Amino acid sequence: MKTVVCRLMTLDPERAKLALRRSLELNPANAETIETVTRTPVGRRGGPRRLTVVTANRWPVWQKRLTVQFLDTNSRALRRRILAHMNAWSPSVNIRFVETRGTGQVRITRINDGHWSYVGTEILGVDAGQPTMNLDGFTMESPEEEYCRVVRHEAGHTLGFDHEHLREDMVGRIDVKKAIAWYDRTQGWTAAETTAQVLTPLSKRSVMGTREADPLSIMCYQVPAEITTDGVAIPGGLDISKRDRSYARRIYPKPVKP
């Protein structure tokens, strides 16, 4: 089974604070929830209370375009092909990816380091000249289905969409021991990597998608039946699904024409 194996990148704490501040300045709606939670000292109940802010990384609704810089290719045909697949989201959202000769907001490499991306406005916290997305080994010879599967997935992350397979009802269907063994055998992941990639559900309060998880979402991994508790595979997405587009339109609505 082919699967989109994508590593979500994270900023160091100091850059993460700056990126969070910028994210909230750009789009105040990113402060999804301010929740009061209880910190319980060891051995007894209660304790000092604190505020936890659960945030998103969505671009503002007025964002019209994101500039893209290719750091390691001079092939015009390859750049145009990658951009075309990133812009497969454009019929649904009010944002286009546009190549720039200067420093892009989105900076793409193709080094041998797997597929990965930062999420949404977090890319603003990455140092200029450093990549925000990696498309491992993509060339003009790469199959079209791989462009659909991988490039559109990573572009979804840049738009601020998280991994759909980390929804709680999806994670609950995965057998922990079988998953750790399978991803070790097929991907070379450690137990910690598998836990982070497929076994740690998103906080319900941070989930911004549809009410029900979409097993056909382009943002969803393909999970084989041999590691699910019910013996039924999670098909995952090979392209942007109808639910993906419906949700994207809600987050980044196009202006209504008079």
- Region 176-194: mean pLDDT is 90
Strand pairing category for 65-70 and 106-109: parallel
Last residue of a domain, one of 124, 143, 158: 158
Last residue of a domain, one of 132, 158, 184: 158
> Is 141 found in the same domain as 87?
yes
Give per-residue pLDDT as tens, 57-83: 899 988 999 999 999 999 999 999 999
> Is 191 found in the same domain as 123?
no
pLDDT at 46: 38
What pLDDT band is residue 205 in, cutting at 50, 70 and 90? Answer: very low
> Is 105 found in the same domain as 176?
no
- Region 38-52: mean pLDDT is 35
142: domain CATH number is 3.40.390.10
pLDDT at 212: 66
pLDDT at 43: 35
> Is 149 found in the same domain as 213?
no
Phi/psi of residue 174, nearest 5 degrees: -100, 130
Give per-residue pLDDT as tens, 105-133: 999 999 988 899 999 999 999 999 999 99
> Is 171 found in the same domain as 97?
no
Q: Is residue 37 part of a domain?
A: no
pLDDT at 39: 33
What pLDDT band is residue 32 in, cutting at 50, 70 and 90? Answer: low
Question: Where in the sequence is the domain holding 82, given as residue range(s)?
Answer: 59-158
pLDDT at 44: 35
How many domains does the chain fold into?
Answer: 2
Which among 113, 167, 150, 170 is positioned nearest to 239, based on CA atoms? 150
pLDDT exceeds 70 at position 40: no
Give per-residue pLDDT as tens, 9-23: 888 888 888 888 888
Query: CA-CA distance, 99 to 52, in Å (whole number)?
Result: 38
> Is 227 found in the same domain as 187?
yes
> Is 204 found in the same domain as 140?
no
Last residue of a domain, one of 134, 158, 182: 158
For residue 248, the one-letter residue type is A
- Region 219-241: mean pLDDT is 91
> Is 147 found in the same domain as 84?
yes
Instruction: Kindly give, in sequence order, each residue whose CB lies less than 8 Å from that of residue 21, ignoring residues fewer than 6 positions away.
Output: none
- Region 128-141: mean pLDDT is 95
- C-alpha 203: how far from chain center: 15
For residue 196, the one-letter residue type is A
Angle at 9 between CA 4 and CA 12, to 5 degrees: 170
Whole-structure pTM value: 0.83
- Region 176-189: mean pLDDT is 91
The H or E element that residue 109 is part of is: strand 106-109
> Is 142 found in the same domain as 65?
yes
Q: Is residue 33 part of a domain?
A: no
> Is 188 found in the same domain as 125?
no
> Is 153 found in the same domain as 182?
no
